[in-house]
Amino acid sequence: MRGKQYVLCGAIGLTLFGTAAFSANQIFAGEEKDKIMSGIYIEDIYVGGDTKEEAIEKLDLMMSQKESELVTLNINQQSYEFSLSDLGITFSYDDVVEKAFRYGKTGNLIKRFKEQEDAKNNELHLYFDYEMNEAAFEEIFQVNGQTWFQTAQNATIYKNEEGIQITDEVVGTTCDMEATKESFRTFLDENFKYGATSFEVVVTEETPDITSEELEQIEFTVLGSFTTNYGSSSWNRKKNVQNAANFINGTVLMPGEEFNTSRTIMPFTKANGYYDAGSYLNGEVVQSLGGGVCQVSTTLYNAVLLSELEVVQRYPHSMTVGYVQLAADAAISGEAKNFIFKNNLDTPIYIEGTYTNSQLTFQIYGKETRPGNRTIEYKNQVLSVIQPGAEIVTIDPAQPVGYRKVTQAAHTGYKVNLIKYIYEDGNLVSTEVVNTSSYGAQPARVTEGGAEPVVTPETPEVTPPAESPEAPAEPVVPETPAA
C-alpha cells in the first residue's frame, strides 16, 4: 500500500515539474532571444523588449545626467553640494545592459522561469556600475579642508611686561578619509540609488599636543640662566645673533620632547633674516650667511647645563672661540653639527631668549625639583696643548716688498675636559666629566708684498753736434775792365 503511494507522489511530482518546465519553455519562447525580457528597468529607464543597442541609446543621455546629480556633504553641521563627477564618481552601463539582456535566459528551466516571473511581477530594477577615483575624491577635501575643518591649536604661553600670559588650546577636527571613502561607497550602493542625496562625512577630533592645564604647571622658576657678550661683533654678526635668538625665544618643551637647534633657527638665508658674517670653514675664517649663530647655540647650551637637562647632541667648534671657556661651546653647522637637548623633567619648560646692550641671555623656566642646598658649577681642564706652527705666507705681487698684513691670527689647539662640580651645603660631593673637546691648531696667515721696485731709467745726456763750417764765399769775379 505504502509503495503505491510513493509511486503516485512521484508521478504527480514529475507531472508538476513537466508542467512548470513546459510553462517556462512557453514563456521563454514568447521572449525574443535578441531582446531584453519584459519587466526590467535600468535605473528608472524601462528597457524591457529592447535590444541591447536600443537600451544603450536610451541610457546615453541618462549617463551624463547621472554624473551631474548632486550630493550634499554634511560636515560639522554645515552642508556643501557637489556633483558625483566632482567627487570622482563615473558610471558605466555596458555590464548592466549585458546583465539585463541575459536575465531569464541562462541556467536551467526552473531558474529561467523564476527570473521571468520575478521580473514580470516585481519590476526588476538594475543599476549602473560606478567607479570611484579616490584621488579626485580626496582632492575635494584637500582643497576645501581649511574651510571645512579646524586645525588643532596648542595652548600658548609667553612672558611680557604684564607677566605670564596663557591662551587656551583649540580642539581640531579632520576628515577620517579612509572611513569616509568606505562609507561613501556604501551610500552609493545602498542609499543613493533609492533617492537619498545627503551624506555624512566621517569627522574625527584632533587633540592639541599642549593644553593650558599643562602649561600652568610651569612655575616660572629659573632652572638655568647664562649670558654671553657679542659687543665686539660686526653689525651683520650682531643681527644674526639676535635673529636666531628670536626664533628660540618662547619655546615650550613638553616632558620627553627634544629641542633641535638647527631646525629651529634655519634656513640660513637672507629671506629668513640672516646676513653674511665670519664663520669657520676648513681652518679658515670665511664669510657665510648666518655667521655667528654658534654663539646663540653656545649660550643656550650653558643654560641647559645649568638646568641639568639631558644633552642629546653637541659638538665643539673646529677652533677655539672667545666668548666662553674651552669645552663649553656648542657649534652649529646644519645637521652635520647640531645642538639637541631633551626635557627630561616631568613638567614642561619655557625657554626665554633676550638681548640688550650686546648681552645675549637664555633663561630656562620650569618647576624646580632639586634640593635647595645643592649647587653646581662647570670648569674646564686642559689635557693637552697643540702649538699652531709656522705661519702661512701668501705673496701678493700687487703689494710692494716690505708690505705685511696678518689676515688670520694663529689658533692654538687644545684637548679639554668640561667637568661638572656638585656641591651640597657648599661642600664638594662629586665631579663628572661632561664632555671632552678637541680644537685644531691653525698657523697665522700672512700676506706679504712681492712686487719688484720700479727703476726709472736715466735719460742719456745728448752732446749737440759741432757747428758746421761756414760755406766758402763765392769767388769774387773781378769786374771786367773796360775795354
Domain 371-453 classified CATH 1.10.3210? no
**What's the CA gap between 396 and 307, in Å, rounded?**
51
Report pTM. 0.64
Q: Above pLDDT 70, what percent of the chain?
A: 87
Q: Which three cell numbers stand for residue 339?
A: 645642538
Query: DSSP letter at 359?
Result: E
pLDDT tens column, 270-300: 999 999 998 888 777 888 999 999 999 999 9
**What's the CA gap between 60 and 230, in Å, rounded?**
78
**What's the CA gap between 237 and 279, in Å, rounded?**
10
Cell numbers 532571444 correspond to 33
Give the residue range(s) of CATH 2.20.230 domains in the chain: 371-453
Q: Which three cell numbers stand for residue 149?
A: 575643518
pLDDT tens column, 112-166: 888 778 777 777 888 877 889 999 999 999 999 999 999 999 999 888 888 788 8
Best CA proximity match to 410, nearest among 390, 380, 435, 388: 388
> Per-residue pLDDT averaged across 43-71, rounded?
82
More confident residue, 106 or 79: 79
Please tell me whether residue 455 adopts helix, strand or coil conformation. coil
pLDDT tens column, 383-412: 999 999 898 999 999 999 989 999 888 899
Q: Which three cell numbers stand for residue 52?
A: 541591447
